Amino acid sequence: MRFSAWSSLSISVFSGLALAAPAAAHLSIDPAKVVKGQAADLVFSVPNEDDAIGVDHVTLGIPQDFQLDDVEAKPGWTQSRTGQAVTWSGGLIPKGTFARFSIRGTAPAKAETVLFNVLVGDRTGKSITYRVGLDVTAASSQDKGARTLGKAALGVAILAAVLALGALFVGLYLWLRPPPL
């Protein structure tokens, strides 16, 4: 996935009809959980469930306490960045399909749920805004799993060392014992 750097400009103003929608299961963010203060690559899966014309622009409103570093360069789409908003336009998401849009940044410094506003629209001006939550946690469950896996690997290594020592002692015993009469 390619990313390109952008400089901050001014805050974006969304135009057109914006209808509020809950964070539907149809529009998703991956991962849904990040660790506070850590670098994060987020992927938004944006569907076109019923717009026959096709979605031709997607704007991500980034929460103020999420530090936006880079945005994905998508072939066939142009992008612009204004402050904490990124807009991809000119491409097409046909009815019944979806597209993925990615950003890279740093998670907020405190544990909280931050909301991304995702405006999805077509060339007629019809649009809908989704609010998608990202859980920012104090500690990573992945770290706990990695520690557990590391402890298991250490246990296996110790068991292997004990078995190797046992085999060495048996070999030495058989080599040093007097021959049978």
Provide mean pLDDT across the span 166-172. Answer: 80
Tell me if 47 sits within 8 A of 37, measured CB to CB: no
The DSSP H or E segment spanning 71 is strand 67-72
In the predicted model, what is the mean pLDDT of residues 36-58?
A: 95
Higher pLDDT, 142 or 90: 90
Q: Closest by alpha carbon to 11, among 52, 50, 68, 51?
A: 68
Task: Give residue 72's Cα distance to chain centre.
Answer: 13
Residue 7 predicted with pLDDT over 80 = no
Whether the pLDDT of residue 25 is over 80: the answer is: no
Backbone Cα Rg of the chain: 27
Q: What pLDDT was estimated at residue 147?
A: 61
How many residues appear in the chain? Answer: 181
pLDDT at residue 37 is higher than 90: yes
Q: Indicate whether 85 pLDDT > 50.
A: yes
Closest CA to 46 of 62, 64, 60: 60
- Mean pLDDT is lowest, of 14-18, 25-29, 38-42, for 14-18
Flag whether pLDDT at 54 surpasses 60.
yes
- Structure token pair of residue 129: 């805004």
Report the distance separating Cα 6 and Cα 137, nearest Å. 27
Rounded CA gap, 33 and 20, in Å?
A: 23
Residue 73 pLDDT greater than 70, yes or no? yes
Q: What is the mean pLDDT of the chain?
A: 82
Q: Which residue has the tokens 């590391």?
A: 150
pTM score? 0.65
State residue 149's pLDDT score: 65
Say what percent of the chain tops pLDDT 90.
60
Is there a contact between 105 and 62 (Cβ–Cβ < 8 Å)? yes
